Amino acid sequence: MTVDIEIREELSRLGATRAAVDPAAVQVMKPATRERPFSRAGWIFELKHDGFRMLAAGGGGEARLLYKKGRDAARTFPELAAAVAALPFHSLILDGEVVILDEEGRPDFQKLQRRGLRMDPAGAAQEAAEPAVLFVFDLLACEGFDLRPLPLTARKLILRRVIPNDGLLRVADEIPERGEDLYAAVLEMGLEGIVGKRADSPYRSGYSADWLKIRIDRSSDFAVIGFDPVPRTSEGFRALHLAVRKPGGGWHYVGTVGTGFKGEEVAAIHARLDALRRPKPVIAAAPRGASVWVEPEMVVEVRYQKWTEDGRLRGPVFLRLRDDKAASECFRPGEEGEVEPEAPAAPRVTAGPVAFSNLDKVFWPGEGITKGDLVEYYRAVAPWMLPFLRDRPLVLDRYPDGITGNSFFQKTAPAGTSGRLRTVQVDTGGSDRGHEYVLCDSGETLLELVNLGAIPFHIWASRVPRLDRPDWCILDLDPKTAPFAHVIAIARAVRELCEEIELPSFIKTSGGSGLHALMPTGGQLDHDQVRQLAELLAGVLVARLPAIATTARSVRARQGKVYIDALQNGRGKLLVAPYSARPRPGAPVSTPLDWSEVDDSLDVRAFNVETVPPRLRRLQQDPLLPVLDLRPDLQRSLELLAARLS
């Protein structure tokens, strides 16, 4: 094949590596999330297709289709498998998005979802009437070469010579530099969004800031018909249940919104809803459970990505209360004279009396993340973060000029704020005697501190007024030069040991290279006793895993092992707060995890200021939240631990 020979010669000239690539072993590259569009030299921009991510491998009469987690998709999309098999090459791995297009040529996710649920090979008539299309945007392997180390532009150069770009296999369109223009066009067409990609980026597994997705969002007004309460407390809520009026009368349930709230808004909204309780929902089709139902009187404005086929909101985010609008005026856009907005709601950059400054200042130069982006990040995570901050002495780590500028720690209230912010006088002895620590109890306070250049927030393990009684015991798993796989193995061993001694355990990323394991103590021990508990746990773990774990503090003495640090427990010792951004390349975030996520595929770099807010929109509850209130039977746990020590 002349084309085949020419491509091989071109790949050799580009410096591609000769190596076989197993498509089943490929971990796809994933885009981080960015809130606003941008234009930038050295970047290319593509449409974000509303479909399923797919790897297509084969050629020369054979084909494999794999979803991004490795599950086979060839039976579901046989027409695509046939198209890949017909390509005149022996070995290809294509990365793309499979969609089903509607009559106007736009992706129809509902049709695609119905096809994805059909696992049997029947239904050829449906495939003929609504064939799937694979929009290919990357080429990972070709004719015995591994293309992943090459720049994106080089991979795309070869891709355009491999794909015929008609029929069921098409090369995804792109434009250089002008991301804002493409975003405006996509907005007008009603599509999902765009993806920006650094033109010289290699193909890396997992999330990367070299690829950034920007979704198109819309907003509208909805009546609140109920809320999900916070477990084990009568304060606040986890999510609001929303509805719109039907044109012919009655209500239509559209789902819930659980993110976007500021701390003070949660309290105010909850107090108003509490007075509107009713025994049953106004909609018979509303979900059953532990929800509290209310009279449909409150109206909220919500940003969302799109409506699903069954009339639910996709990707909702709370924007504001609408006291100027009656619930009876809330219709789905396009019904009863309402018109869907043509542009997303303008980003809000003020909160109450906070006067923000220098929002365009770049805080992470490598990623182009600004101070304004950081403000919006903390606004988004505030409802999840505030329970961990409330009533705890706080130490700020301030970076007024971003992560490459000068920085300093600050324990006392920043100048000019002591009259506005709640503080507590703490006497820890020595140089800390008499310091007035800040307490962060609201979203407004949090954003005011961010406006002062605070990036991470460090907190005590105890709360006022019981500062001598910590809520948790921590084991800091610090790898330094050790493989991260050893951190995973030790974290699993922590959980196994805690299960043996009937002590609950929780886990979060540190925002660096390690993990933090937290065990609730419920204020039953003082700081010294908690540190002793941590040292005992660490001793058992090192005895069980001597080849990879150590309690040696100096890096040289660790000999390449993971340091299990029990000394982070003690009066005045600090923990980087859950959901804190870290002043490191990639803008990582200390992120609570479910234990099911702690496996060999865990990549702590995937959790950053771009990816965490959408992660929280998907979560039903915070996996770390119970650490604040659990009171385990520590006497029983200590007895069981003593048995293992002996």
Q: Note the pLDDT tens digit of each residue in 23-60.
A: 988 989 988 777 678 888 899 999 988 788 899 998 77
Q: Does residue 342 lie within any of the structural domains?
A: no
Confidence category of residue 128, pLDDT binned at 50, 70, 90:
low
Residue 337 lies in a domain: no
> Are 131 and 223 found together in one domain?
no
pLDDT band of residue 127 (cuts 50, 70, 90) is low
267-284 mean pLDDT? 87
Give the 3-state secondary structure of 380-448.
Answer: HHHHHHHHHHCCCCEEEEECCCCCCCCCEEECECCCCCCCCCCEEEECCCHHHCCEEEECCCCHHHHHH
Tens digit of pLDDT for each residue in 298-332?
989 898 877 887 788 888 889 888 765 778 888 88
Q: Out of 25-34, 411-420, 534-543, 583-592, which region has the weakest mean confidence (pLDDT)?
A: 411-420
Residue 49 shares a structural domain with residue 146? yes
Question: What integer pLDDT is reported at residue 347 of this predicted model?
Answer: 30
Residues classed as catalytic? 48
Residues 43 and 113 in one domain: yes
Judged against a pLDDT cut of 90, whether residue 535 lies above it is answered with yes
Q: Residue 425: which domain range?
A: 362-459
Using the 3D structure, point to which of 431, 459, 487 is the last residue of a domain: 459
Phi-psi region of 337 (alpha: psi -120 to 50; beta: other; left: phi over 0): left
pLDDT digits (tens, 9 = 90+) for 205-229: 887 778 988 877 777 889 999 999 8
What pLDDT score was predicted for residue 434?
A: 63
Give the angle subtended at the CA of 301 by the CAs of 183 and 111, to the nearest 5°. 55
Same domain, 151 and 297: no
| Per-residue pLDDT at 416 exceeds 70 | no
Evaluate whether residue 467 is within a structural domain.
no
For residue 356, is it within any domain?
no
Residue 331 has what pLDDT?
87
Integer Cα distance of 367 and 4 in angstroms = 38
Percent of the chain with pLDDT over 90: 37
Q: Which of 430, 459, 488 is the last residue of a domain?
A: 459
What average pLDDT is seen over the chain? 84
479 and 557 together in one domain: yes
CATH number of residue 38's parent domain: 3.30.470.30
Q: What is the pLDDT of residue 120?
A: 42
The last residue of one of the domains, among 177, 205, 233, is: 205
Assign 579 a pLDDT band (cuts: 50, 70, 90). very high
pLDDT in tens, 467-484: 889 999 999 999 988 999
**Structural domain includes residue 466:** no
Same-domain pairing of 200 and 226: no
The percentage of the chain sitting over the pLDDT mark of 70, rounded to a whole number, equals 90
Q: Are residues 454 and 480 in the same domain?
A: no
Both tokens of 436, joined, read 């007035």
Residue 77 lies in a domain: yes
Q: Are residues 42 and 128 in the same domain?
A: yes
Q: Is 267 helix (H, G, I), strand (E, B) or coil?
A: helix
Residues 71 and 173 in one domain: yes
Closest Cα to residue 590, out of 459, 414, 408? 459
In this structure, the answer to whether residues 198 and 226 fall within a common structural domain is: no
| Residue that is written with structure tokens 């991260």 in the block | 484
State the pLDDT at residue 474: 96
pLDDT tier, 349 (very low <50, low <70, confident <90, very high otherwise): very low
Each residue's pLDDT tens digit, 481-531:
899 999 999 999 999 999 888 888 999 999 988 999 999 998 888 999 999
Domain with 480 in it: what CATH number?
3.90.920.10
23 preceded by cis ω (within 30°)? no
The number of domains in the chain is: 4
Considering the domain architecture, whether residues 194 and 223 belong to the same structural domain is answered as no
Is pLDDT of 636 > 90? no
CB-based contact 472:634 (threshold 8 Å): no
Q: What is the mean pLDDT of residues 250-259?
A: 90
Residue 16 lies in a domain: yes
Whether 226 and 185 map to the same domain: the answer is no
Instruction: Give domain status of residue 548, yes or no.
Output: yes
